[in-house]
């Protein structure tokens, strides 16, 4: 059972995490949710479309203008508090690698810390343990925050993913994070080239076999763009195809931009797998 905030999710229940970037230079939406009202509207739409988790980020993942901890806190803390006020049942996640930000957002009501840079600040897990919130333990190949991979190599990429993520997960539990609130993430594109991300996808059963719930962040990423040779705004179909494969292979949480489309894919996969019934079943029965 995965427990985040006040919510519980069965092991075979797919969970959508909607991305809400509080940045003026985010790679996908180019700052569309930087201001409060558009961002709050985005949260409302995402919840209505089926998102159980809202993932709030105050710093773009890629290189760009320097954003210090104080500015990241300014972009996220008040927003976390307002989302908590408007949506008391939603799980609030904050995408950060800094323990100072983690402390501030937990005080404001966050339920989950999404550490996309693989424990580069080891004190972030201590914050999660102190507040009893969830933690996403990600493989980033040792990359520093906001850097792009360059000629990165692994003797076995999945072996490295398993070693890093399970070690981070066990450390988190030792620090007080509830075991049922820890997730592992292969870290598509983070410290990886396209072939690494594709291999990590097809070998997801090795991650699910660890017993930790698996989160995948696939949405419109570069490995999709390079695989299909399509620009940023034409990556939805590739993203949804990868989502369907990941669902079939056992991933549980999906960090996405397009909530409604992802929800349909996950429902279809669940029905094919026999874990869900069709919404309507009239054909051949009338």
Active-site residue identified among 42, 60, 171, 255: 255
Is 192 part of the annotated catalytic residue set?
Answer: no
| Residue whose structure tokens are 């360059």 | 150
Residues 111-116: contacts with CB within 8 Å, 24+ apart?
Answer: 111/4, 111/5, 111/6, 112/4, 112/5, 112/53, 112/136, 112/181, 114/55, 114/138, 114/255, 115/168, 116/61, 116/140, 116/185, 116/187, 116/190, 116/217
- How far apart, in whole angstroms, are the C-alpha atoms of residue 198 and residue 56? 26
Please say whether the beta carbons of 217 and 185 come within 8 A.
Answer: yes
Residue 120, SS3 per DSSP = coil
| 233: number of Cβ within 10 Å | 9
- How far apart, in whole angstroms, are the C-alpha atoms of residue 226 and residue 88? 39
Q: Element (H or E) spanning 137, and its range?
A: strand 134-138
| 170: number of Cβ within 10 Å | 14
Active-site residue identified among 60, 75, 221, 235: 221
Is 60 part of the annotated catalytic residue set?
Answer: no
Instruction: For residue 214, give the DSSP letter.
Output: B
- How far apart, in whole angstroms, are the C-alpha atoms of residue 251 and residue 249? 6
Active site amino acids: 221, 255
């Amino acid at each position: 059972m995965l427990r985040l905030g006040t919510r519980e999710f069965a092991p075979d229940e797919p969970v959508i995490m909607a991305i809400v970037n509080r940045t003026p230079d985010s790679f996908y939406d180019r700052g569309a949710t930087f201001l409060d009202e558009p961002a709050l509207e985005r949260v409302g739409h995402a919840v209505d479309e089926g998102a159980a988790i809202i993932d709030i980020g105050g710093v773009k993942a890629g290189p760009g203008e320097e954003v210090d901890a104080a500015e990241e806190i300014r972009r996220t803390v008040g927003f976390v508090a307002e989302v908590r006020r408007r949506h008391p049942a939603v799980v609030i996640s904050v995408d950060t690698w800094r323990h100072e930000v983690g402390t501030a957002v937990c005080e404001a009501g966050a339920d989950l810390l999404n550490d996309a840079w693989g424990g580069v600040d080891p004190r972030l897990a201590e914050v999660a343990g102190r507040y009893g919130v969830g933690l996403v333990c990600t493989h980033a190949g040792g990359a520093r925050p906001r850097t792009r991979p360059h000629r990165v190599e692994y003797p076995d990429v999945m072996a490295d993913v398993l070693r890093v993520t399970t070690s981070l997960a066990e450390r988190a539990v030792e620090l007080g994070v509830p075991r049922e609130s820890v997730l592992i993430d292969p870290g598509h594109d983070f410290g990886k080239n396209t072939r690494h991300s594709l291999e990590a996808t097809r070998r997801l059963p090795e991650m699910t076999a660890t017993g930790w719930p698996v989160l995948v962040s696939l949405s419109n990423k570069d490995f999709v763009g390079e695989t299909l040779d399509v620009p940023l705004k034409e990556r939805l179909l590739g993203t949804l195809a990868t989502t369907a494969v990941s669902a079939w292979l056992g991933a549980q949480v999906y960090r996405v931009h397009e909530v409604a489309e992802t929800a349909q894919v996950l429902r279809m996969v669940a029905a094919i797998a026999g874990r869900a019934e069709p919404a309507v079943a009239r054909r051949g029965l009338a």
